[in-house]
Structure 1
Amino acid sequence: MNEVKLNDHIIFGGNSPCVLIAGPCLIESKQLIDETAAALKEITGKLNMPFVFKASFDKANRSSIFSDRGPGIEHGLEMLAYVKEKYSIPVTSDIHEPYQAELAGEVLDIIQIPAFLCRQTDLLVAAAKTGKIVNVKKGQFIAPWDMKNVVVKLRESGTEKILLTERGTTFGYNQLIVDMRSLPIMQELGVPVVFDATHSVQIPGGQGTTTGGNREYVPVLARAAAAVGMDALFAEVHPDPDHAMSDGPNMVRLDQLESMLKQVKVIDQIVKGGV
């Protein structure tokens, strides 16, 4: 597997420690991401866990046209740049159109491609050309072995800085399941693999005009993915998920994150020979 190095402290792949990619689903306000980033840095510092802050500046794939989408790319990137500088942490967010890649690349350390858009060639090419790490979420409709074509698109576009993320597979209506085999299968493509524990417990469209979820299963799946050998854990967290503007039902409460990470870290160390 190719290791992907973000900096001297954050390396994805190999026997490197599991990296946490976490933050609120949506940039609801500067205050929210400021407070959440501060808390996450404190938690991961205590656990000595590599950390990348995540929040979306635009949720372009909301269930309803009336749902909150976020502050937009310019204002959103300004707030992410603020968090990045204030707390000296790398940041990531998702893009939805090729023109956004260059702007996002000026701020983001990792450019995320949403699952629904993982096959969009122009979007992948634009992301690759930024020179930043590109994290592609596996579509809910794609087999893990078919992500080979996504990896080839990125490599042919000039980058080896590739991460793939497992986030569940559509199972009937409004349900997702996780096949843990998908992690080693995608790792066999020569890239580090992230496990998205919170989107994997979504119930897409399950509340009519919004997405439902079962956040109580997030720790269960996170522990399982650590046992399989994930390279990074993706988790959306919020101080008050029940009142969040996006993905509340599947986000982890900020005050419950540390206990989950302690368990994940122990399993990760065992799997990677650190204990």
Structure 2
Amino acid sequence: MRGDTRHGYAQHTADPHTLPAALTIATTDSSGGAGIAADLKAMLANDVYGMCVVAGITAQNTTGVQLIAPVDPAVVREQIDSVFTDIRPAAVKIGVIVGDDQIETVAAALRDHHAENVVVDPVMVATSGSSLADSSAVRTMTRELFPLAVLITPNIPEAQALTGAEISSAADMERAARALAERFGCAALVKGGHGTQDANDVLALPDGATQWFAGERIGNPNTHGTGCTLSSAIAAHLALGEPLGNAIAHAKAYVSGALRAMLDLGAGSGPMDHGWAQH
């Protein structure tokens, strides 16, 4: 890693023959701001080779999600096998997977391939407010995918849904993160972007240790795909071999830069500028 941090996050120079690869298993976003499109943009911007498995299809834009469609479980499995048997990913980001059978298929495939550095973003509601997961899918996700994860990245509403406890303060966030880490045996990053004062996040490890990551609240209403982008950037930095805390810090700095770029597209909550550091 070179010492150039002019853009607010560490940049890496990699030998093209040893460029780490990261995989996203998620849904499409036809507007390009979230889902697989955002994941691949974030991975590229954070110096890894991005690959994808399409585990759901949405008709989606900045105003909402108009349609969600599943992909046949056999097709999902074949995609995962194709990737792992050729270009093995050093990290895997999991976003929305449409369907209980599809979630179980992904979990079985990742177990079979002994996937490493799995980051699960438990997306339940899109930035627009559209629901992306029913209660059955949430139960299947927590049962099948969370045990495979090195990290889960719920925002405050998602952490409330997972713990059943209201979160209205920093202390509540930390309690929720600890509860999730203890319950599922993986690190839990509870994101504070839905709070009112700041964008601080708290990480809890299964051993009970916690770490806060400071984040400024940037006055940009265009936040479509922030969760997808952050989790993918974390996976990218894990693929680069960074410790979890460093990966989170670098990913947060990258997302902050993308928000500060103030890209303004669409009639609703628009996307961020994933390529801000390359301009």
Give the TM-score taking structure 2 as reference length. 0.43
Give the TM-score taking structure 1 as reference length. 0.44
